[in-house]
Amino acid sequence: MPLINESRPEEFTLLGFADRPWLQLLLFTSLLITYPIAMMGNVTIILVSRLDSRLHSPMYFFLANLSFLDMCYTTSIVPQMLVNLGSSKKTISYTGCAVQLSFFHIMGGTECLLLAFMSFDRYVAICRPLHYTLIMNQCICILLVSTVWLIGITYAVSEATATLRLPLCGLNKLDHLLCEIPVLIKNACGEKGANELTLSVVCIFMLAVPLCLILASYASIGHAVFKIKSSEGRKKAFGTCSSHLIVVLLFYGPAISMYLQPPSSISRDQPKFMALFYGVVTPTLNPFIYTLQNKDVKGALCHLVRRISALSDSW
């Protein structure tokens, strides 16, 4: 890996899959298709949750915030990926890398916590139905969402700042598709044990603790659901939770495998595939998972399509 005179390079070269042109072409084509789908799917979820009065509840308030978060998540990395994959010069400026690093981890950290609060919402709805409107009122929902954004921003800015202060000794090549904290730590020279330890501790709080809260919520939900005598009632309760549980598994699985291990032990291609999974695949699938599993969302979507059709006919 070549050295340059400065410890802080003016730009980074993102190697990605440059040694495998066929995979690079496949990825470029896939992103060119999935990115617009992800945008349209998440915009649709936001629109139906805002325009249909039947979806004006805490559950869909959180879902709309998740969709907005997913749009920002994919947008923080995909356009740059497309530019690099479609050209021979696969570079990103140091400032661009710092911005991408910060935004990508803001969205990731915020989503970790938001998914945990969404599971708490389902717990209250099923296990404390008589107190649901009192506990999950509008002020509480806004406060919870504001809190997760604040924590996500604090986590990302502090970790990004600590990572960008590491000496790079002029190393300007990153074997990755984007700027991500574990890869930059791995690429740094000198003593970086403190950064690895800090990242592990912070990620236990951002990943392991919320996941434990989610599992505890669903354990209580499962216990409450099996007490419901009506099979229709059990089916409805499971239906409202299954979509969220699938999203949790899709997001937390790759994130845990990437962040709850020392960066120095990460294999060469693991960061690339993991980042694609939780940064592109999951945000693209989320709208379809919630739509296909939820009758209310499907009904609201059909109603929105009919309204659009009626408006187009009147023109």
Residue-range domain boundaries for the chain:
11-314
Given a cut of 80, whether residue 211 has pLDDT beyond it is: yes
- Res 170 pLDDT > 70: no
**Residues 71, 12: Cα–Cα separation, whole Å:** 25
Between 239 and 215, residue with greater pLDDT = 215
Cβ 141 vs Cβ 199: under 8 Å: no
118: confidence class by pLDDT, cuts 50, 70, 90: very high
Residue 264 pLDDT: 66
- The per-residue pLDDT for 3 is 39
pLDDT attached to residue 5 = 38
Asked if pLDDT for residue 222 goes beyond 90, the answer is: no
Average pLDDT over residues 203-214: 90
Output phi, psi for 210, to 5 deg: -60, -40
- pLDDT(1) > 50: no
Q: Which residues contact 71 (CB under 8 A, 6 or more apart)?
A: 38, 39, 42, 43, 283
Kindly indicate the confidence band of residue 4, based on its pLDDT and cuts at 50, 70 and 90: very low
* CATH class given for the domain over 11-314: mainly alpha
User: Percent of the chain at pLDDT above 70?
Assistant: 91
Place of tokens 């003016």: 10
Looking only at the bridges linking them, the beta strands covering 173-174 and 91-93 are unpaired
Q: Got the DSSP string for 44-92?
A: HHHHHHHH-GGG-SHHHHHHHHHHHHHHHHHHTTHHHHHHHHTSS--EE
Confidence of residue 112 (pLDDT cuts 50, 70, 90): very high
Query: Which is more confidently placed, 252 or 1?
Result: 252
* Bridge partner list, 12: 92
233 pLDDT tier (thresholds 50, 70, 90): low
Residue in 193, 147, 179 with CA at minimum distance from that of residue 16: 179
**What is the rounded average pLDDT of the residues 71-77?**
93
DSSP state of 13: E
pLDDT digits (tens, 9 = 90+) for 9-26: 788 888 888 778 888 889
Strand order across the 91-93 sheet: 91-93, 11-14, 173-174
Chain mean pLDDT for the chain: 84
Please give the Cα distance from 14 to 68 (Å, whole number). 27
